[in-house]
Amino acid sequence: MNTSFIQYEDVSVQYSPYVMGIDNINLSIEQGEFVFFIGPTGSGKSTTLKLLTREVEHTSGHLWLSGKLLDHWKESSIPILRRNMGIVPQNCGLLPNKKVWENINYALRAIGVPRRTARKRVIEILEQVNIAQRADAYPSELSGGEKQRVAIGRALVNNPPLLIADEPTANLDPECSLDIMSLLMRLNDEGTTVLVSTHEHHLVTMLKKRVINLSRGKIVTDDVPSLDNNYLAPEMYVYSGPN
């Protein structure tokens, strides 16, 4: 009997005889959790997340989402599965010839929301991700952080219980990264389960959420960093010179 919201049991992805995407992962995630996946390039972060969106299939083990076994999930059922998740792509993936509000509206209409309801929902979503003041801008007129906020807004059109963001801050400066992480944490406070992969180890250490550290397709640590005692992330040290 499986009771976790997400459960990986001995899950491996073997891309080819010599390439393991992930190697025997065991992992449980409960509804309402916020989980960071960190690790160097090639460590298996994207593979771990893409199993849930079914962009990748596991080659062994068992995977459950919301009590459903995803092993041998039918291709034709993938759109139904994805309707219950918000996916934030790394490059924001906005339609360049549509304004901010039109990007959100388009996504709402695409899932069948009636025109009038969509108009109202667009405003709610833009406010939720704090970008309403840029509603009439085109993506090319936005900063990287603003684009990513719209991308997160677009991922919310289904009111998904699960939000998956694979390196959402990869192209952002540290200040914008913190802004995006704060937004994701706020959405988590409102009840959404949030899974985020990132390179930004130091930032993640400061945010006191569960951190799963991958290396060569395996989980090496899985805990919540503490900032007790004298711990300071390396970039927080300020060299004051000899005295």
> In angstroms, rounded to a whole number, what is the distance separating the alpha carbons of residues 226 and 11?
29
Q: Contact at 8 Å (CB) between 196 and 188?
A: no
Closest-CA residue to 147 (of 180, 107, 193, 196): 180
Footprint on this chain of ligand ADP (rule: CB under 6 A)? 15, 19, 21, 39, 41-47
Alpha helices (H) in 129-173, listed in sequence order:
144-155
Q: Tell me how far, at minimum, the Cβ of 43 lies from ligand ADP, in Å.
A: 4
Radius of gyration of the chain (CA): 19
Contact with Mg ion (CB under 5 A) among 7, 12, 46, 192: 46
Q: Please tell me whether residue 47 binds Mg ion under the rule CB under 5 A.
A: no
Closest-CA residue to 45 (of 33, 31, 56, 61): 56
With CB cut-offs between 5 and 8 Å by kind, which of ligand ADP, Mg ion, none does residue 110 bind? none
Question: Whose Cβ is closer to ligand ADP: residue 58's or residue 134's?
Answer: 58
With CB cut-offs between 5 and 8 Å by kind, which of Mg ion, ligand ADP, none does residue 213 bind? none
Q: Tell me how far, at minimum, the Cβ of 27 lies from Mg ion, in Å.
A: 17
Q: Tell me how far, at minimum, the Cβ of 90 lies from Mg ion, in Å.
A: 8
Question: Whose Cβ is closer to ligand ADP: residue 59's or residue 97's?
Answer: 59
Question: Whose Cβ is closer to ligand ADP: residue 13's or residue 151's?
Answer: 13
Local structure of 235: helix, strand or coil: helix
Q: Report strand pairing: 193-197 vs 34-38.
A: parallel
Q: Please tell me whether residue 198 binds Mg ion under the rule CB under 5 A.
A: no
Residues at the interface with Mg ion (CB under 5 A): 45-46
